[in-house]
Each structure stands twice: as structure tokens, then as C-alpha cells.
Amino acid sequence: MTTDPLSTYDAPAHDLIALLRPLLAAEAAAEAFGSGAEPGDLEQAVWLRLLERLRRDGPPPDPPLWLRRAVRAEARRARRTARRETSLTCEPADADRPDPERLALAAARRRVLRDAVRRLPGRCPRLLAALLSPLDPTYREIAGELGISQGSLGPERSRCLGCLRRLLAAEVAAR
């Protein structure tokens, strides 16, 4: 029957760390997937726990056993943290309900945009109104409605958007 050489370990901390490094890497890699944490994060947390332990109480009596337990404890902590945390990309639970302030701001932006589109020169008001239509017509339908070729619709749209951009920039600068 062989005994673990680390179970009665009494050497300096850096020797202990050097001997535990491969075991910690393997344990962290094994536990990381189930906890949703990165193996490197688990390793770093366990190293920190070990250094705190060494400063406070000295080396553990059975370092490999202590290390396995510490990795599992950190993995559990990572799972609990992941369950409690909410992603910043998630919408709040009442996202279905319209927020009156948000609705008012969106309506004001649409009104400003429609007013600016009406003041554009030439065919631009009709073209941009068709592009902004809630019916979402195709380029072919827009070209047929305006009586222009479908191929010239893109360049015309680009010119009109440039005019609209300059118009809105001038209004924003005037305020």
C-alpha cells in the first residue's frame, strides 16, 4: 500500500504549489464544464484559497484532498453565482408592456423624421415615405409606384438619405 507523498507534506509553500499544479489543472478542467466557469478562473480561485489557508493555518494535512474539495467548492460557488446573475442582454419581465415614456419618445422621433422627409426636394419625400412604409414594399413595388427603374432606386435612395442627413444635422446644430 503506497501513501500519497503530499499527505504529510511539510515543505515550503512554493514546493507545495509546484506539486499541486498538475492536479489542480486536471480537477479544474473536470469541474469547469458543469459549473459554467472557465478552468482558469477555478484554478485562480483555488490558488487564492490555498494562499489564504497557508497564511492563516499553514498547509493542509492532506493537500490533494483539500485541493479536490476546494475545486468542488469553487465550482459550486460559480454555479450559484451564475444562477443568481442576470444577463445584461435579457429584457425585463414586463418587456411586453409598453413603457409610456418609451412610446412617447418613439412617437416624437417618428414625427420629427416624417416632418423632415416632407421637406426634402424632388422625389425624395415619396421615395423615403415608401421605404419607411409599415407595409415594407419591395424595391420592385416602390419602383413601379414611383415610375422609375428599379436599378436607379438605390442611387436615388442614397442621394435622398444624404439630403435628409444634412437637413437633420443642420436642425440639430441650430438647437
Residue 2, in any domain of the structure: no
- Supply the range of the domain harboring residue 115: 100-174
Q: Is residue 110 assigned to a domain?
A: yes
Clarify whether residues 153 and 106 are in a common domain: yes
From first to last of its 175 residues, the chain has per-residue pLDDT tens of: 444 444 444 456 678 888 889 999 999 998 888 777 888 999 999 999 988 888 898 888 899 999 999 999 999 998 888 777 765 555 555 556 778 888 898 899 889 888 989 999 998 999 998 888 888 888 899 999 899 998 889 899 999 999 998 888 887 776 6
Is the same domain home to 121 and 77? no
Tell me, yes or no, whether 130 and 154 share the same domain: yes
* Per-residue pLDDT, 3: 47
Q: Does 1 map to a domain?
A: no
What's the CA gap between 2 and 148, in Å, rounded?
Answer: 89
> What distance separates the 2 farthest-apart alpha carbons in the chain?
95
Count up the domains in the chain and report the number.
Answer: 2
Q: Are residues 138 and 113 both part of a single domain?
A: yes
Looking at residue 65, its pLDDT comes to 93
Asked whether residue 32 is domain-assigned, the answer is yes
Using an 8 Å Cβ cutoff, are 16 and 64 in contact?
no
Do 80 and 110 lie in one domain? The reply is no
Sign of CA dihedral 141, 143, 149, 151: negative
What pLDDT does 14 receive? Answer: 73
pTM of the model: 0.44
Contact between 9 and 67 under an 8 Å Cβ cutoff? The reply is: no
Whether 91 maps to a domain, the answer reads no
In a domain, 92, yes or no: no
Query: 72 with 108, same domain?
Result: no
| pLDDT confidence of residue 93 | 55
pLDDT for the residue 110: 87
Determine, yes or no, domain membership for 20. yes
